[in-house]
Chain A
Amino acid sequence: MSSNTNRRVLPGFRLSLSFTLVYLAVLVVIPLVGCFVKAGSLTWSEFRHAVWTERTRSAYELSFGASLTAAAISVALGLLIAWVLVRYEFPLKRLFDSLVDLPFALPTAVAGLVYSSLYAPNGWLGRFLVPLGIHLAYSRPAIVLVMVFIGFPFVVRAVEPVLESIDAELEEAAAVLGANRWQTFRRVLLPSLLPPLVTGFALSFARALGEYGSVVFVSGNMPMQTEIAPVLIVARLEEFKYAEATAIAVVLLLASFTLLVMINWLEKRSRRWDY
């Protein structure tokens, strides 16, 4: 109602909307369409040969497997950190709270560089871990580790506000009715925390799936072993096999769009359990 008034009174509707549309068309829509058209220029069997070889399959498996593992670990660690930051008092709490945002701000190349040097056999931590048989550089666990680094802040930042807003009376009622703390957590708190945990999981999974910068430093990029899908795209591009690179990119694009739709659906579905 009032918005109709705005359109009549406030200036700039046409200018701002047309600029927005042109900008998005040039930078986002046309390039995306171009990518799908390029992939469409392949015949079905060419497309299949590009996206479904032994090497690409193992890259997808690694990309999806590592991202899922990392997102699951991020959920556990993120919940722990959010819980402690919201519920407990301890020295330097605000400093630790801001440190959670650091992975958002730190360039991925820096994260990759420093993680690979920390966990290398002669690194600060690798020197103790490698003799124990724990290889956190140039291995699959190394990929999961950097994905956790870039993913866990999403979970913390999704859970924190919900944890803060949970009504104290719910927990009190549970306690009065004889539930112990663990029962209260599982039966009362966890259901309300489910929506932000799902959101956090999906966001960190999506981020991990597309991650390139930090992974190329720590993985060693061995075909069939530690080569993730984005690295494979770069490899194909360097061989000037544009169409094949595009075909793999389309698979990744479809995966992330499906994910986006699923996130929205899950968020809506889990919101029903709020009350």
Chain B
Amino acid sequence: MGNAMSARVSRQDPWYVRWTLTSAALIVLILLVVVPVAAVFIQALADGIATYWNNLFNDGDTRHSILLTLAVAPTSVALNLIFGLAAAWAISRFRFTGRTALLTLIDTPFSISPVVAGLLFVLIFGQLGYLGPWLRDQGIHILFSPPGLVIATTFVTLPFIARELIPVMEAIGPDEELAAVSLGASGWQMFWNVTVPNIRWGLLYGIILCNARAMGEFGAVSVVSGHISGQTDTMPLWVEKAFQEFNLPGAFAVASVLTLLAVATLLLKVSIERRARPQLAEAKQMSESAGAE
């Protein structure tokens, strides 16, 4: 016991070091994160609740930007959800050539600047783009209209759900699914009754992170949107427009909604982490002990 005590002391920093480092770290966090978040709400509510409400809901273009974001983001999340499930199933349950290359490919959107991402689709769908003239003849609008926003957002948020699901499914392992199939379950029965319940926390986690990024996406969407008020301005784009027009109360009102969303995302994330940790730890332990046998 004496040993344990001295060991602990040898890892313990003197009180003044602890005190200095802790205050320095907290000051950094407060200046970088807490003050800006507080400022968003204080500035938004600076002229009272009534003005705040007015800024948010009595302006047609603002209302439209909120609705547009609420339509575009879930569409992108849904597309990437289907992709994430398919990719995670293929990658975590089977071994095939090019598997590592596929993993790298899934990650590429993370390493591409959002502006470049937007540009990629301008080159395809724009007036001077590869498909532009043909699309114009068909009367199909993609660029400067909601489908373009969905495509750009989907590209930028593509890796989120797949990256969350692959390690979770690797950790859980295929045993229960193999059992279900050998007991005569069909593919979809196995998927809905075994796979989905097993990965539900990872799935939820991925959806939440993907949605947060989709609603907040700025660079890629800004390039493909055309900034048409009341038509192709999402919430973040509307914040920029209001800022440029010196309509700061309006900009901060919309920004406060986006900030609330970010805070809600964090709260959900923490609560999922708390619930999922035992489940994931168990899955990991099981796979480790199975590997040791």
Contact = CB atoms under 8 A, between A and B. Distances in A.
A206 B34 CA distance: 25
B222 to A, nearest CB: 7
Contacts, number: 275
A3 B94 contact: yes
Contacts of B223: 234, 237
B30 to A, nearest CB: 9
B89 A181 contact: no
**Nearest 5 CB-CB pairings of A with B:** A107-B216, A210-B113, A213-B218, A175-B10, A11-B187
Contact of B32 (A11, A107, A149, A212): A149
Interface stretch (A46-54, A251-259, A266-274): A251-259
B29 interface: yes
Given A101-B266, A114-B39, A35 B120 contact: yes
A87 B95 CA distance: 41
Nearest to A99: B33
A117 B86 contact: no
B111 A259 contact: yes
B39 A212 contact: no
6 contacts: A24-B102, A81-B25, A102-B37, A103-B32, A110-B255, A206-B111
A234 B162 CA distance: 30
Describe A's contact surface by its main secondary structure: helix
Given A9-B178, A16-B90, A24 B111 contact: no
Given A6-B94, A9-B181, A152-B32, A27 B155 contact: yes
B178 A96 contact: no
Interface stretch (B54-62, B123-131, B196-204, B278-286): B123-131
A219 interface: no
A114 B36 contact: yes
A265 interface: no
B155 A20 contact: no
A90 interface: yes
A249 B119 contact: yes
Given A117-B248, A124-B35, A107 B105 contact: no
Interface string A191-234: 00000000000000010011111001100000000000011011
A110 B22 contact: no
Given A11-B181, A84-B21, A171-B11, A31 B222 contact: no
B50 interface: no
Contacts of B259: 106, 110
A257 B113 CA distance: 11
A6 B96 CA distance: 12
Contacts of A171: 10-11
Interface string B10-27: 110110011001101110
Given A148-B32, A249-B119, A105 B266 contact: yes
Interface in B195-224: 209, 212, 215-219, 222-223
Of listed A4, A7, A23, A256, residue having the most chain B CB within 10 A:
A23
Given A81-B25, A149-B33, 14 more contacts: A2-B174, A3-B93, A6-B178, A24-B105, A77-B32, A101-B269, A104-B212, A105-B216, A105-B263, A107-B216, A109-B255, A212-B218, A230-B116, A256-B111
A107 B36 contact: no
Contacts of A115: 36
A275 interface: no
A109 B36 CA distance: 12
B102 A109 contact: no
B93 A10 contact: yes
Contacts of A253: 112, 116
B22 A90 contact: yes
Contact of B115 (A32, A210, A257): A210
Of listed B24, B29, B102, residue having the most chain A CB within 10 A:
B29
B66 to A, nearest CB: 13
Contacts of A27: 151, 154-155, 158
Interface in A141-165: 148-149, 152
Interface in A73-110: 77, 80-81, 83-85, 87-88, 90, 96, 98-110
A12 B269 CA distance: 30
Of listed B32, B39, B90, B109, residue having the most chain A CB within 10 A:
B32
